[in-house]
């Protein structure tokens, strides 16, 4: 009886630990979301503009995301150079490898801009969160896109990389 109890405990303990780790991991935000959270905190600190995620979707063709699409890159990558670091230090030594492995398109909305007028310039912006990877390193970096919200340039970029953000609904929110 005692041996059976010990054997069952030996099997039960790893199962409980595994279930606990799985529960903790399922509550952790995706890696791209953490990069958006850092960016929105940075924007709020710099300009007192509070941005929130309105919509996000993965790009169907991330290999079409080129450096020309990025107006500015944000991140604290220890490996890759970005235009702006959240902590003020940009320590990355290597240029960003393109194309990225994965890209998320994110529509951000400004709470102040939405309260004033939903179509007000600056009330919404689209950013891209990309997983840049080379042979040895990988990091998520946030890119501000080129072009205004409803411009042909931005709509063309979203179409090219396969992002299905519903920009026309942004003005009606």
Does residue 120 fall inside a structural domain? yes
Does residue 155 fall inside a structural domain? yes
Does residue 58 fall inside a structural domain? yes
Helices (H), 92-151: 111-116
Residue 148 Cα distances to 1, 38, 39, 152, angstroms: 72, 22, 19, 9
Count of domains for the chain: 1
Q: What is the DSSP string of 160-173?
A: HHT----GGGTTT-
Q: What's the chain's average pLDDT?
A: 83
Beta carbons of 130 and 61 less than 8 angstroms apart: no
Does residue 137 fall inside a structural domain? yes
Does residue 2 fall inside a structural domain? no
Share of the chain above pLDDT 70, in %: 76
Does residue 84 fall inside a structural domain? yes
Domain housing 101: 29-169
Does residue 21 fall inside a structural domain? no
Residue 55's Cβ-side half-sphere holds a number of Cα atoms within 13 Å equal to: 15
Global pTM reads 0.79
Does residue 63 fall inside a structural domain? yes
Worst-scoring range by mean pLDDT, 49-63, 120-134, 152-166? Answer: 120-134
Residue 44's Cβ-side half-sphere holds a number of Cα atoms within 13 Å equal to: 14
Is the pLDDT at 36 greater than 50? The verdict is: yes
Both tokens of 102, joined, read: 């994965």
Q: Could you give the angle at the alpha carbon of 113 between the alpha carbons of 36 and 58, nearest 5°?
A: 30
């Amino acid at each position: 009886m005692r041996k059976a109890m010990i054997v069952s405990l030996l099997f039960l303990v790893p199962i409980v630990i595994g279930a606990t780790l799985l529960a903790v991991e399922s509550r952790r935000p995706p890696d791209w979301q953490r990069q958006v959270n850092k960016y929105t905190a940075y924007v709020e600190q710099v300009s007192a503009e509070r941005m929130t995620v309105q919509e996000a979707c993965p790009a169907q063709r991330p290999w079409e995301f080129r450096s020309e699409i990025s107006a500015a890159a944000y991140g604290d990558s220890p490996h890759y150079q970005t235009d702006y670091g959240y902590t003020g230090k940009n320590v990355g030594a290597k240029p960003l490898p393109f194309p990225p492995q994965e890209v998320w398109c994110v529509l951000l909305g400004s709470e102040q801009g939405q309260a004033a007028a939903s179509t007000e310039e600056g009330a919404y912006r689209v950013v891209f969160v990309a997983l840049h990877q080379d042979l040895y390193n990988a990091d998520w970096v946030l890119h501000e896109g080129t072009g205004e919200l409803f411009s042909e340039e931005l709509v063309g970029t979203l179409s090219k990389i396969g992002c299905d953000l519903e920009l026309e609904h942004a003005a009606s929110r």
